[in-house]
Amino acid sequence: MKRIVIFASGSGTNAENIIRFFNQNKTAKVTQVLCNNEHAKVIDRCKLLKISCLCFNKNDFLKKYTILNLLKETADYIVLAGFLWKIPENIVAAFPNKIINIHPALLPKYGGKGMYGINIHRAVKENKETETGITIHYVNENYDEGAIIFQAKATLLEEDTPEIIAEKIHILEQRFFPKIIEDVILNINE
């Protein structure tokens, strides 16, 4: 049974979906959620789901080895579910091809610093894209540049607002993210 630690910063809908998926699974289980925002709704979701949620600060994450040492004890895989900070090189090096992120656009378009949430969907709308989607990828030392594992697309209509685009992306995230995580774990272990 592999151990998954989720990093989250916000509402936690993807984290909850992943936790519920792996509660019914023999491949892996979510052992903990780590959060960099003490006001994030993901904390309440973790309480309801009876999953440990630890909040941490930037110093523990970047300058000390607090988070790295914790991960070495509790994680086989790390999943980023709406986590907005760049992962430090020491964590990337300790978990090669074992840190998985989801990005709400079809990378390499609309990636990089500042490209998250509604910012992406506004840019997609402003550029009159006819499709967008999700990209599930490994994390490396640069924002949104790790090897792509999986992409799913959604067709856009001219009248779609950034909020409607966000809804289409959320449906893809909920449908595919847990299953692709499971596939990664199973393929590596074969």
66-118 tens-digit pLDDT: 999 999 999 999 999 999 899 999 999 999 999 999 999 999 999 988 899 99
For residue 1, pLDDT beyond 70: yes
Active-site annotation holder among 39, 103, 121, 170:
103
Give catalytic status of residue 121 as yes or no: no
| Boundaries of every domain in the chain | 2-189
Q: What is the mean pLDDT of the chain?
A: 95
Indicate if the pLDDT at residue 189 is higher than 70: no
Overall average pLDDT of the 31-41 stretch:
96
Q: Which of 32, 49, 114, 51 has the alpha carbon at shortest distance from 123?
A: 114
pLDDT band for position 190 (cuts 50, 70, 90): very low
What are the pLDDT digits (tens) for 43-65?
999 999 999 999 999 998 987 78
DSSP codes of every residue in 10-70: S--HHHHHHHHHHHT-SSEEEEEEEES-TT-THHHHHHHHT--EEE--HHHHHTSSHHHHH
Q: Which residues pair with 75 in a beta bridge?
A: none
Q: Closest Cα to residue 99, out of 54, 59, 142, 156? A: 142
Per-residue confidence (pLDDT) for residue 65, from 0 to 100: 85
- CATH superfamily, with its number, for domain 2-189: Formyl transferase, N-terminal domain (3.40.50.170)
pLDDT > 70 in the chain, percent:
98
Alpha-carbon span 148 to 20, nearest angstrom: 25
Cβ atoms of 166 and 118 closer than 8 Å: yes
Q: What are phi and psi of 61, to 5 degrees?
A: -80, -45
CA 93 remoteness from chain centre: 18
Query: CA 118, CA 180: separation in Å to the nearest integer?
Result: 24
**With bands split at pLDDT 50, 70 and 90, how would you rate the model's confidence at 124?**
very high
Exposed, middle or buried: residue 58 (CB in 10 Å: 0-12, 13-18, 19+)? Answer: exposed
What is the distance between the alpha carbons of residues 42 and 94, in angstroms, rounded to a whole number? 26
